[in-house]
Structure 1
Amino acid sequence: MNHQRRGKCIIFNHKHFDMVEKCFKKMNDHPENENDVRSLESCFGGLGFEVFIHEDLKKAEIKLVLEALSKEDHSDADCLVFCFITLKMDQGLSAKDEKLSLGILSKLFNAKSALHWLGNRNCVSFSYFLINVNGCVIRAFLMERR
């Protein structure tokens, strides 16, 4: 990785969920998330990433953030990282209000769109990491140039 800047790390932290709030108010508190957020912020910040943290966003708000990022010029960056700290749902993750399909990432950040936002024809790698913590799921999605 040898570009002008390392890139951005976007952390989506979800501690409160509408569906849980209605049924089990006590289960809707996830104080351990703060440790995970600070660890990710420290790790990626220490590696030279610009770190942005979003708290308890609804599905539509997450889509707006992702769409805005997909339109930015990242041609001087090595990679783009997404981290979701949330509850796992079938075939997706939980936003504050409803399920978020991971297909939104592959739709906005794929090999075809990557040519636009990476600014050249270098090969693009898209992968993710999964860590299960106390019933919550942390998924980190990394898109980088090779």
Structure 2
Amino acid sequence: MPVSRDAMRYSSSHSHRGHCVIFNHRYFDRHTGLGERNGTDRDRDQMQQLFKNLGFDVQVHNNLTVAEIKAVIQDYAFGKDHSSCDMFAAVFMSHGEQDILWGRDDHFKADFLFDQFTSDQCKTLAGKPKLFFVQACRGDKLDAGVTLVRSQPSDEIDSGYLAYKIPNSADFLICWSTVPGHYSWRNTTNGSWFVQSLVHILGQEYAHDDILSIMTSVNRHMIINFESNCPSQHHMHGKKQTAFIVSTLMRKVYLTPKY
């Protein structure tokens, strides 16, 4: 029981913030037919620095095969003791489709990333936050957006318990760069819209607000500040993107600096 049953926030009093593993895929084997993901190395470097600044022990893996990805995930879930850690984080950046993600040589079901860390599987992370950030397409749909116009002025609207049971799937925050079925945009020079927004906002706000509130601000930043600029490809021009944030958190997650 890392915190009392009725605590409003997860414990941040362990000796370590936790592990963060980053999977970055730029190159793919020829037989996959997948193109190079230019700009992803900038995403990797920015995410690595961000999570180091947040106090995580960061490990980066580049262009792994599916077998290698699964081995790393299982090592973090079953081969490491997280007892002295506040939480766990993972970043996955690659090509993707509706329910799958790609390694260098093949694809795998996206759920594999998360299922190894449920409370019945990874005991030393039970009752602790598991944070996942996925930069990948989830289909080929494009979002043209809609223009909002204010038509007229309007007023602004202003534990004494020894044990308790939680679901095995509690305590997850899974932040997808885009909604199911949709394309996820990446600039070949500056990196993906989602990672740019995440690094900018989380890097500024981590000491002041909880992670779920911060992710709302990340999404707002991406929605307001990014739009595709492809005038020579009319069907790709002027498109928007929204993140898809799935939470089974039961408390607030704070990344207040450890001193």
TM-score range, shorter chain: 0.7 to 0.9
Deviations 1:58-108 (A, max 9, x none): 111111001111121101101111111101123111111111212213331
Aligned length: 141
- For structure 1, list consecutive stretches of 5 or more residues without a partner in the other structure: none
Task: Specify the alignment match of 1:134 in structure 2.
Answer: 186
The 3-state SS of whatever aligns with 1:89 is coil
1: CA distance, partners of 2:250 / 2:85: 9
Superposition misfits of 4+ residues, deviation over 4 angstroms: 119-124, 135-146
1: CA distance, partners of 2:117 / 2:95: 23
2: CA distance, partners of 1:76 / 1:144: 20
With over 3 angstroms needed to count, the CA separation of the structure-2 counterparts of 1:143 and 1:15, relative to structure 1, is farther
The 3-state SS of whatever aligns with 1:38 is helix
Deviations 1:12-68 (A, max 9, x none): 0001112xx3486xx733331111011101110001101100010011111100111
2:171 to 119, 122, 125: 125
Identity %: 25
1: CA distance, partners of 2:36 / 2:245: 22
With over 3 angstroms needed to count, the CA separation of the structure-2 counterparts of 1:2 and 1:143, relative to structure 1, is farther
With over 3 angstroms needed to count, the CA separation of the structure-2 counterparts of 1:70 and 1:110, relative to structure 1, is same
Residues 1-146 of structure 1 aligned to structure 2 (within 5 Å): 1-18=12-29, 21-22=30-31, 28-71=35-78, 72-114=80-122, 116-118=123-125, 125-131=171-177, 132-134=184-186
1: CA distance, partners of 2:32 / 2:124: 42
Shift of residue 6, structure 1, vs aligned partner: 0.4
Q: Structure 2-normalised TM-score?
A: 0.47
Question: Does the Cα contact within 8 Å between 1:81 and 1:141 map onto a contact in 2?
Answer: no
Higher strand residue share: 1
Question: Does the Cα contact within 8 Å between 1:6 and 1:78 map onto a contact in 2?
Answer: yes
Which structure would you say has the larger Rg?
Answer: 2
What amino acid is aligned across from residue 128 of structure 1 in structure 2? Answer: I
Question: Does the Cα contact within 8 Å between 2:28 and 2:36 map onto a contact in 1?
Answer: no
For the aligned residue pairs, the C-alpha RMSD in angstroms reads 3.2
Question: Does the Cα contact within 8 Å between 1:7 and 1:49 map onto a contact in 2?
Answer: yes
Larger RCO of the pair (alpha carbons < 8 Å, separation 6+): 1
Moved more, 55-64 or 86-95: 86-95
Q: Structure 1-normalised TM-score?
A: 0.80
Shift of residue 145, structure 1, vs aligned partner: 9.2
- For structure 2, list consecutive stretches of 5 or more residues without a partner in the other structure: 1-11, 128-162, 178-183, 196-243, 252-259
